Amino acid sequence: MTNQIINDLTIQAATVNGSGSQTANLVLTRAIFHMGIPVAPKNVFPSNIEGLPTWYQLRVTPQGHMARRDQVDILIAFNPATWHQDLRTVRPGGVVVHEEVFSTADARTDVIYYAVPFSKLAKSKIQNDTLRKQLANMIYVGVVAGLLGIPWEALEHAVTRQFLSKPKAVPLNLDAIKVGFDYWQDNFSKKDPYRLEAMTGLVDSKVLVEGNQAAALGALMGGVTVVAWYPITPSSSLCENLIAYAERFRTDPETGQKRIAVVQAEDELAAVGMAIGAGWAGARAMTSTSGPGISLMAEFAGLAYYAEVPVVIFDIQRIGPSTGLPTRTSQADVGFAYTLSHGDTKHLVLLPGTVEECYEFARDAFDYADRFQTPVFVLSDLDLGMNLWMTPEFKYPDKPFDRGKVLSKADLERLAGEWARYRDVDGDGVPYRTLPGTDHPAAGYFTRGSGHDEHARYTESAEAYAANMDRLSRKFETARAALPAPVIDESTGSKIGLIAFGSTHAAVVESRSALAAAKLPVDYLRIRALPLSAQVAEFVSRHERVYVIEQNRDGQVYDLLRLALPPALVDRLRSIRHYDGQPIPADAITEPLLESEAVPA
């Protein structure tokens, strides 16, 4: 065979949701990962429980590219309903492994077919009646293993890993994989160029983690003690993972007592209200939601901003407006979350761009919330939150909690009770607070969302109102410099810069390689928090043209930048947007950039 393609391919499995296909997909992913080959899986699933089309895209590259790619090299076609549509996605010369009964009469002639009687094999070879439906999916793993040369040892490892808590399932699943593996060996000879070969040094000490798992672990390490949530895709798995981890790590094995309180609230209003009540009482408290929940939380977000109550709010973004596409990704809440609530409200927003940052920002969000006594939004998205990402292992925290300016009983005694809740003692806009339960007669104060003076007393005084709002702005400026700084790479020396944030990062990394190969190297600044760091304007000032890349229709961060930059810099900005609900592929950056910069492709 000439022109072999090794370790650089995209597999797409087209199945029906609720059929157990996800387990098979994960086993295939883990087996390839175990061979030392970088993997980047993406799940495209419907807002449905059973019976609708679902796709699993597994991208394999020696470079470790993590972004989605539009083009499919190997299609595994299980779903008769999407068969013709799926066939169109395969690149010329690609492979189609399909259920034997699907008609290829008027199908494409520029792809290589392997017809497998999956249903017949499942009926004749899988003896376990109750699990046949689930195990049938494993047959495809065996066929792909034969097709691509995945060693049996890697499959054994993957199955054992997948069923860590159910060891009895391991032989059953391996037997099913063997059915497919044997069928390949007995019936096909290789007609296509694709192969997998074990690699070394690329995935050492790397792990596969979903962003919502990472954030759940981060919250636990950040010391969260009160969690209130309302189920919503794609956020639910964050709290569900957190509950599972807390069961394991926050439960006293002898007494059964928990070092965490979790409430599944009646709605998102109540969820964030509970978190704010807990934050007021001094707990590290959080909620997690997605766009529709954020809309409902607007009222309470303003209260927490104005009354200065710490709380952490995760928004795992999905496509809106309204219900939108509940199982598709986007970055379209960033503008709304930033100024959520009426009046002059503005918030601290963290924008993790990797699963490692999902962990770190989730953990540190509680410090920022306590330190600045305000809501902190952590904006992840469905792509980051619900897909597995290859990542270095997370680091154990090297700092204790930062509980911010809290006056204890001893502090109040030292001050002889002289303090005021909303007084700017240190000139940084951040006042001191006391926690309910502090045993000192001067500790108590009356928190309110209505106008208040330094002592938290109700007032309608114009001067007191304006002075307080100005102090809140000072506090915001203090936070601006303290939040995670942008990550900047100016090593190319290019006149062209890219600005991106969040999960768009993966596509930017890949696109920069492609652009460099096309003789258009570009610098890169990745925003990691709002309000914007001063470094953003400096970056723009050092480049002639700066492309802002984001996954929303209106260029929300592009707009924020236009408002924030000095007028002389505004015209340097360009906007590249991707908003079809699928994670942005590198081509969606590379192609418009090459065109805009008039570089011949």
Partner 1 sequence: MSTTLNRVGLPRDAYKGAATTLCAGCGHNSITNHMIKALYELGVEPHRLAKMSGIGCSSKTPAYFVEAAHGFNGVHGRMPALTTGAQLANRQLIMLGVSGDGDTASIGLGQFMHMIRRNIDCTYIIEDNGTYGLTKGQFSATADLGSVQKKGAVNTFQPIDPCAVALTLGCTFVARSFSGDGKQVVPLIKAAIAHRGTAVLDIVSPCVTFNDHDGSTKSYSWIKDHEESIADVSFIPFFEEVHVDYEPGTVRDVELHDGSHILLKKLGEDHDPTDRRAAMKVIEEGRAAGHLVTGLLYLDPASVDFATSERIPDSPLVDLGEDQLRLTRGEFAQFMSEFA
* Interface positions, 141-200, toward partner 1 (CB under 8 A): 161, 164
Q: Does 522 bind partner 1 (CB under 8 A)?
A: no
- Of residues 562, 560, 550, the one with CA closest to residue 505: 550
| CA torsion, ordered 482, 483, 484, 489, to nearest 10 deg | -70
Rounded Cα gap, residues 96 and 419, in angstroms? 73
- The tokens describing 424, both together, are 């700017």
The sign of the dihedral angle between the CA atoms of 363, 365, 370, 372 is: positive
In the complex, the smallest distance separating the C-beta of residue 341 from partner 1, rounded to whole angstroms, is: 10
Give the pairing type, strands 311-319 and 53-60: unpaired
- The tokens describing 105, both together, are 């009469």
Tokens 């304007």 sit on residue: 537
Q: Which stretch binds partner 1 (CB under 8 A): 16-24, 140-148, 212-220, 326-334?
A: 212-220
Q: What is the footprint of partner 1 within residues 9-38 (CB under 8 A)?
A: none
Q: Which stretch binds partner 1 (CB under 8 A): 14-22, 111-119, 188-196, 244-252?
A: 244-252
Size of the site for partner 1 (CB under 8 A): 75
Tell me whether residue 434 or residue 511 sits nearer to partner 1 (CB atom): 434
Tell me whether residue 142 or residue 282 sits nearer to partner 1 (CB atom): 282
Q: Does 365 bind partner 1 (CB under 8 A)?
A: no
Q: In what order do the strands lie in the sheet with 9-16?
A: 39-44, 53-60, 9-16, 72-77, 90-99, 112-116
Q: Cβ-count burial of 498 within 10 angstroms (0-12 exposed, 13-18 middle, 19+ buried)? A: buried
| String marking each residue 307-336 x if it binds partner 1 according to CB under 8 A | x-----------------------------
Rounded Cα gap, residues 334 and 5, in angstroms? 40
Q: Which stretch binds partner 1 (CB under 8 A): 11-19, 63-71, 114-122, 262-270?
A: 262-270
Q: Which stretch binds partner 1 (CB under 8 A): 177-185, 268-276, 549-557, 562-570?
A: 268-276
Q: Which stretch binds partner 1 (CB under 8 A): 100-108, 119-127, 209-217, 378-386?
A: 209-217
Tell me whether residue 273 or residue 291 sits nearer to partner 1 (CB atom): 273
Q: Which stretch binds partner 1 (CB under 8 A): 76-84, 191-199, 252-260, 513-521?
A: 252-260
- Of residues 184, 80, 177, 194, the one with CA closest to residue 134: 177
Other beta carbons within 10 Å of 123:
11
Q: What is the footprint of partner 1 within residues 282-311 (CB under 8 A)?
A: 282-283, 285, 299-300, 303, 307
In the complex, the smallest distance separating the C-beta of residue 345 from partner 1, rounded to whole angstroms, is: 13
How many angstroms separate the Cα of 229 from the Cα of each of 42, 259, 357? Answer: 26, 17, 22
Rounded Cα gap, residues 392 and 206, in angstroms? 4
Q: Does 414 bind partner 1 (CB under 8 A)?
A: no
In the complex, the smallest distance separating the C-beta of residue 226 from partner 1, rounded to whole angstroms, is: 5
Q: Does 265 bind partner 1 (CB under 8 A)?
A: yes
The binder of partner 1 chosen from 52, 107, 112, 207 (CB under 8 A): 207
**Farthest-apart Cα atoms in the chain, separation:** 89
Q: Which stretch binds partner 1 (CB under 8 A): 57-65, 81-89, 393-401, 505-513?
A: 393-401
Q: What is the footprint of partner 1 within residues 454-483 (CB under 8 A)?
A: 457-458
The sign of the dihedral angle between the CA atoms of 312, 317, 320, 325 is: negative
In the complex, the smallest distance separating the C-beta of residue 348 from partner 1, rounded to whole angstroms, is: 20
Q: Is residue 541 a contact partner of residue 573, using CB atoms and an 8 Å limit?
A: no
In the complex, the smallest distance separating the C-beta of residue 550 from partner 1, rounded to whole angstroms, is: 29
In the complex, the smallest distance separating the C-beta of residue 34 from partner 1, rounded to whole angstroms, is: 9
Q: Is residue 528 a contact partner of residue 579, using CB atoms and an 8 Å limit?
A: no
Q: What is the footprint of partner 1 within residues 533-572 (CB under 8 A)?
A: none
Q: Write the single-letter amino acid at 220.
A: L
Rounded Cα gap, residues 350 and 368, in angstroms? 10
Q: What is the footprint of partner 1 within residues 436-455 (CB under 8 A)?
A: 436-450
